[in-house]
């Protein structure tokens, strides 16, 4: 039973690492852009239909505030997952998209 738990932890860590790599690449390769709240909300609302646009936008700006404070993206993923009650992959998408669309 412990092997299954360890395997799940390894998969979670791999996902978090890959999310960080994607977010880092997006930051490095993206041209400077103006924050686009409408695109951020539209893209995330398709995935998180049970949240209001205001909840999604507020979560995105909390991610930005955390990033400016030096909080690692992996920590933000876990925080967003816990706060919104969403899966880690969905939280990873929200963190990554906030970085790109909201200009964190």
Q: Tell me, what's the pLDDT at 82?
A: 97
pLDDT exceeds cutoff 90 at 104: no
Please count the other Cβ atoms lying within 10 Å of the Cβ belonging to residue 9.
10
Q: What is the pLDDT of residues 30-86, one digit of tens each?
A: 544 456 899 999 999 989 999 999 999 999 999 999 999 999 999 999 999 999 999
Task: Return the half-sphere exposure (C-beta side, CA atoms, 13 A cut-off) of residue 97.
Answer: 23
Instruction: Name the strand (E) or helix (H) holding 36.
Output: none
39 token code pair: 């695109």
- For residue 72, give both structure tokens: 């690692």
Distance in Å from the first CA to the final CA of the chain: 40
């Amino acid at each position: 039973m412990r092997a299954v738990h360890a395997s799940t932890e390894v998969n979670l860590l791999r996902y978090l690492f890959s999310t960080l790599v994607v977010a880092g690449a997006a930051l490095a390769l993206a041209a400077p852009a103006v924050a686009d709240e409408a695109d951020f909300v539209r893209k995330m609302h398709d995935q998180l239909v049970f949240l209001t646009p205001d909840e999604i936008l507020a979560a995105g700006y909390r991610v930005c505030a955390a990033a400016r404070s030096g909080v690692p993206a992996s920590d933000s993923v876990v925080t967003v997952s816990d706060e919104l009650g969403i899966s880690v992959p969905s939280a990873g998408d929200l963190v990554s998209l906030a970085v790109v669309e909201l200009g964190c």
